[in-house]
Amino acid sequence: MSSYEKTLIPPLNFSMVDAGVYRSGYPNKKNHSFLRQLGLRSILYLCHQPLRADNLLFFQENGIQIFHCPIDGNKEPFIGIDPEAMAGALRHLLDPSNHPILVHCTKGTHRTGCVIGCYRKIQYWSLTSIIDEYCRFAGPRMRLLDQQFIEFFS
């Protein structure tokens, strides 16, 4: 194993959400050593595009189950998050037999932020704390429609 492969580099916007639950942006090859250290059992992938071949191979070689649950971003005026798609993603996330699990989209901000925000609602977090966490990852590109979706999700 080269020194490059031994270097542990987390994916963009990586964070621990809960015991056995992680979030991030789209991992790439330089993140594989880091992900291997997490002992992941599952990936919850939220984008519409198929996984890149290098990630697909890495997940297969490491026995990581892939849950592909495409979720549309909340982009005005006509595209929004489908509550059924969110419920499907949360079913995988809430099943402890899938943990440790990594939830990710492209940047780890909007779609991932909405899934984690809804997860926090299920955990009975206050809305203020949920939105604060969402904004920490979304930064100045936060979407009011995302916050509204999280607020009214049940």
Active site residues: 105
Query: Could you please report the per-residue DSSP string of 72-132?
Result: ---BTTTB---HHHHHHHHHHHH-GGG-SEEEE-SSSSHHHHHHHHHHHHHTT--HHHHHH
Quickly count: other Cβ atoms within 10 Å of residue 83's Cβ: 13
What is the token pair recorded at 10?
């987390």
**Whats the size of the chain, residue-wise?**
154
Q: Which residues contact 125 (CB under 8 A, 6 or more apart)?
A: none
